[in-house]
Structure 1
């Protein structure tokens, strides 16, 4: 029997990882899109446990699959992060990692690599995401994710490959070599190629690694080199056409928010997105969807009522046909009036303006008959909280900070601490009428 003193503390402090290598790789033509300027890489990435857990969940659910499967993939993210990473500011795997079976280590390593990549891409300024499986046949090697927004707005999308390695031979050299090889094999062939979300104009390969039992981690990035012009470029000829929209493609927005609403537990919204995308039938419950409106850290967020009550019923959120009947329960409303239980957290929510803007756009598409339009949506974006390249964007900012949460640029947030709802409101979204009241 293990001694109580041998039990490790749960990971609860911010971690800073240095960028060990950064390489740029030639591509012809360069730049792929005139005027695109890639954001500068910086020397460190700082993130909180809640941010990495949220990023792991985001990447696990950014794919076309049944909500029940995707929900099962994301449920264990926070628990794994807390248990398998040591509680110190220098990244180190806990002793529990050694007790995992080989297949479980491989899965956890891959999840961490994907989560770190999502944090890095968000920190660079990219906003919306999609799975990159659309670029190649199933058996062809291809990178993992496509991103839009930030500096690539109006140009197309960028491609990102994620890799993690937690092995005894992990080092700055081996991790750098893996980033480069992954770039050459799984990123470079697809730069300048079309995708359903726009032309791929730039690519990244992000590799993250650490030696079990040793403090420290390695972060290596390989990306497309953009050639400097030999002289100032001539202005493009006037064609009379309007410039490209700086918004996000409708298809990319649908993919991003499908994942976001799944993480929230708002399955009724996913049904509408799938119907519009042609992968689902007309929703059997076309009634309004209820959200609760909560204040946190100076912003208002909308959350799904039923994803926040696992203590009452662990799978209520997965069956939205229960929603109206349960919400009318006075007992449930009284419990919400008292506050949320600790079991409700960690809790995914979406910043209110982002949620409203997207859902009102969704209503417009539903009213028009449900065909996915070719075009762009103007959606808000936000400065990240809980992670970033240091400074004000890093995790809890100071010891004993009041809030523990991660906010991503698309408005998705993961709240990590229980709190009492002193202000309690609900909002309803009607698929054919938009927000009510």
Structure 2
């Protein structure tokens, strides 16, 4: 598995997309969960290229499939994104898009639609994600993703349908119609239903579209209506009051399974699958190696082997990384001088988020996967590299820009991974937790 993106052709100009239309659709009862207040719509979504690349990868890997397949989907999605999106502040497809077969055009549009939806949902404040395949059989149409955290924490989860269209007839009207149609067919029937990740109490249908050969894009959102009360709201009935905080364990496992696939840490993914009963309990309980580094005022943990497999694996095996003289040589002569070619992107995780989840996972492993906690108390963060308005980009205190994106769950994609000069090592033991 790979946690790297390459710099070839990847655009570097921030893109701004205005919300074309926002429609609300009645539902009975409303609200499904008493006291739930949906966040207001994001009238403007601003994102950098690294953020969209990361979001496309996040959505491509948010499903219960073998890690090797999902890593392949990640690579193919990035390869398409790099050559098919123009380097412009207004969204525009390159001329290469016309050379794709119709099925490939549809696939690429769907991937971009899913990525934009993930950015939009994070911008609204939602933190955790899971695939919505659990809602019904494959024969029945249903929305794509479930989101938790933010305003919905303690109430349940929200449902999000993602649609992308790069058609010759794409207009504001057609994209709005698609958002509405998808809401009625794939979102509305599942609001106020149960799922393995929590009760679905609200829904969105996000449609993203652009006409090839033109500049600009359309983003339309259809959402469950929560009418303003006309009179004083009576006390909530028993069972409808918001439950305790934190994220459901099932949702946390689903979100971080995708994250660790992107980070190239298959050992962690195997333990998540074992605890979640979707795979065998691993027989190898050996430690997992992390690199710890400072970046943009925070510390992050990543897998050295995902970005520098053969080279660092040999150094690690030979014990050279633990020698300060050799470590200085590696950082100075190899990493800082771009010895490893065009790789300029690295999926990592904010340290406190990574430690909190893996320490909770250790507790579950020690219990043998029995009596799992219902909820986990995990940190969340303000997004960087995308958001509502202009203050969403990653910058240092002195105004110097960093090229990265961080999502609310702590996953980050660093666009310039060779920037840090101070690298440390950490180890996580599945049954003992972090060393140091």
TM above 0.5, yes or no, is yes
| Alignment partner, residue 248 of structure 2 | 249
Q: Structure 2 CA distance, aligned partners of 1:141 and 1:243?
A: 29
Q: Structure 2 CA distance, aligned partners of 1:214 and 1:364?
A: 53
Give the secondary-structure state (helix, strand or coil) at the position aligned to 1:72: helix
Give the secondary-structure state (helix, strand or coil) at the position aligned to 2:178: helix
Deviation at 1:329, TM superposition (A): 2.8
Deviation at 1:236, TM superposition (A): 4.1
8 A contact 2:42–2:120 mirrored in 1: no
| Alignment partner, residue 181 of structure 2 | 181
Once the two structures are superposed, the pairs formed by residues 350-389 of structure 1 within 5 Å of their partners are: 350-371=349-370, 373-389=372-388
Give me the CA root mean square deviation.
2.3
Q: Structure 2 CA distance, aligned partners of 1:180 and 1:242?
A: 30
Q: Using structure 2 for the length normalisation, give the TM-score.
A: 0.91
| Alignment partner, residue 80 of structure 2 | 80
Q: Structure 2 CA distance, aligned partners of 1:194 and 1:238?
A: 17
Give the secondary-structure state (helix, strand or coil) at the position aligned to 1:147: strand
Give the secondary-structure state (helix, strand or coil) at the position aligned to 2:391: helix
Deviation at 1:234, TM superposition (A): 2.7
| Alignment partner, residue 190 of structure 2 | 190
Aligned length: 418
| Alignment partner, residue 201 of structure 2 | 201
| Alignment partner, residue 219 of structure 2 | 219
| Alignment partner, residue 286 of structure 2 | 287
Q: Structure 1 CA distance, aligned partners of 2:201 and 2:155?
A: 7
8 A contact 1:48–1:395 mirrored in 2: no
Q: Using structure 1 for the length normalisation, give the TM-score.
A: 0.91
Q: Structure 2 CA distance, aligned partners of 1:236 and 1:204?
A: 24
Deviation at 1:284, TM superposition (A): 2.7
Q: Structure 1 CA distance, aligned partners of 2:380 and 2:19?
A: 26
User: Are residues 195 and 21 of structure 1, via their aligned partners in 2, closer, same or farther at CA, if it must alter by over 3 Å?
Assistant: same
Q: Structure 2 CA distance, aligned partners of 1:286 and 1:397?
A: 39
User: Are residues 242 and 121 of structure 1, via their aligned partners in 2, closer, same or farther at CA, if it must alter by over 3 Å?
Assistant: closer
Q: Structure 2 CA distance, aligned partners of 1:368 and 1:156?
A: 26
Deviation at 1:419, TM superposition (A): 2.3
Q: Structure 2 CA distance, aligned partners of 1:95 and 1:395?
A: 30
Give the secondary-structure state (helix, strand or coil) at the position aligned to 1:393: coil
1:32 aligns with 2:26: no
The structure, 1 or 2, with the larger RCO (C-alpha pairs under 8 Å, 6+ apart) is 2
User: Are residues 270 and 10 of structure 1, via their aligned partners in 2, closer, same or farther at CA, if it must alter by over 3 Å?
Assistant: closer
| Alignment partner, residue 71 of structure 2 | 71
| Alignment partner, residue 320 of structure 1 | none
| Alignment partner, residue 5 of structure 2 | none
1:329 aligns with 2:318: yes
Deviation at 1:238, TM superposition (A): 8.4
1:54 aligns with 2:54: yes
Q: Structure 1 CA distance, aligned partners of 2:146 and 2:256?
A: 14
Residues 93-140 of structure 1, C-alpha deviations (whole Å, 9 max, x = no match): 011111222222111111000000000000000000000000000111
| Alignment partner, residue 168 of structure 1 | 168
